[in-house]
Amino acid sequence: MKESEIRPQKLFNRYLELAKKDNEKFFSDQSSFIETPCPSCGNEKQIPGFEKHGFTYALCSDCGSLYLSPRPPVDMYDSYYHEAESVNFWSTHFYKETAEARRQKIYRPRAQIVAKLAGQSGHLSGNNSLFADIGAGYGLILEEVENLRLFDRIVGIEPSAKMAQICRDRGFDVIQKYIEDTEGVNIDATFLTAFEVIEHVLDPLVFLLSAKRILRHGGLLMFTTLTVSGFDIQVLWENSKSVYPPHHINLLSIEGFRRLIERSGLELTSLTTPGELDVDIVRNICLEKSDIDIPRFAVSIINASELVRSNYQNFLKANNFSSHVQIIARRL
């Protein structure tokens, strides 16, 4: 997989430009911003990270997670996600134009992982089973999982009215709420997924506890996100397009994820970094910005042959050094 296949540079840069303008419109007054302890382990001791577009990132002195602090209150975020031009652009242009590439390269392989895991645990699929996806968006994973014919019921959990309606138009049941607001909702999932969601939420622990609440005992939660421990984020740091406030506010470390799962009371069954784009992302940034300063070793990697770059990416994947992390946890 190449970055350009799922994140075309011109389209993605346009989104980032809009996001920067939205920051100035919605978050210029930071008087109500809230100092935040580490969202992974709860530690309140911070190490200065860096500033980006008027926002401040801190590093946890204990687990090494990177997170936005201070961060906007929930009402400010609500206004942003309902009214911001960049949010609208992502759903109406960016995601729509890359949807089929993402289906082929991302969501279909993820559905196959769901099938494999469900097959290994017979009680997750079949009679009275329920698959649910948090942040269902365009419903691509719902469609791909439906094609497997493994689950009795498939549900999307999507707070955006526009995205929720798209999923309904495709024939799916949708709970139009944030997962944190689903208490009392009639859902008892055997298999729950959340792809690229937890990096956006104000409180990852509350997010996981909410997911746990709608997950049947013995059921699985599978989620993917970014990790600050990964190669491209470590190399690019504040120059990384993956570190972009106010969207990506939690970039937890590998150790941070372990601690967060433990705090939630879920059982961690798998933590891997199957990412394929770290080297490609660093290379593309350096081609786009020739004056960027990165470590000499990273320069030698991105300037090497395609075979060497591929081998190094495989090394990152195998040793939990990719910035794309996949976590599977079980409700006991």
> pLDDT tens digit string along 212-235?
999 999 999 999 999 999 999 999
Q: Categorize the per-residue pLDDT at 275 as very low, low, confident or very high, splitting at 50, 70 and 90.
A: very high
Structure tokens at 196: 């690229």
Assign 3-state DSSP to the chain and report helix, strand, coil percentages, each to 5. Answer: 45, 20, 35
In a domain, 68, yes or no: no
What percent of the chain lies above the pLDDT cut of 70? 100
- 139 lies in which domain range? 100-330
Overall domain count for the chain:
1
Provide the strand spans (E) within 54-97: 55-60, 66-68
DSSP 3-state of 92? helix
- Give whole-number Cα distances, 124 to 116, 271, 289, in Å: 11, 20, 48
Q: Categorize the per-residue pLDDT at 133 as very low, low, confident or very high, splitting at 50, 70 and 90.
A: very high
> What pLDDT does residue 96 have?
79
In a domain, 207, yes or no: yes
In a domain, 33, yes or no: no
**Torsion over CA of 36, 41, 45 and 47, rounded to 10 degrees?**
-90
In this predicted structure, the answer to whether residue 93 has a pLDDT above a threshold of 90 is: no
In a domain, 60, yes or no: no
pTM, two decimals, is 0.95
Structure tokens at 302: 């991105």
> What pLDDT does residue 150 have?
95
Closest residue by Cα to residue 85 from 94, 97, 74, 72: 94
In this predicted structure, the answer to whether residue 91 has a pLDDT above a threshold of 90 is: no
- Which CATH number goes with the domain that contains 196? 3.40.50.150
In this predicted structure, the answer to whether residue 307 has a pLDDT above a threshold of 90 is: yes
pLDDT tens digits for range 138-194: 999 999 999 999 999 999 999 988 899 999 999 999 999 999 999 988 899 999 999
Q: Categorize the per-residue pLDDT at 81 as very low, low, confident or very high, splitting at 50, 70 and 90.
A: confident
Average pLDDT, the chain: 95
Rounded Cα–Cα distance for residues 185 and 257 (Å): 27
* β-strand partners of 132: 155, 192
In a domain, 65, yes or no: no
DSSP 3-state of 183? coil
In a domain, 92, yes or no: no
> What pLDDT does residue 331 have?
97
> What pLDDT does residue 70 have?
97
In a domain, 126, yes or no: yes
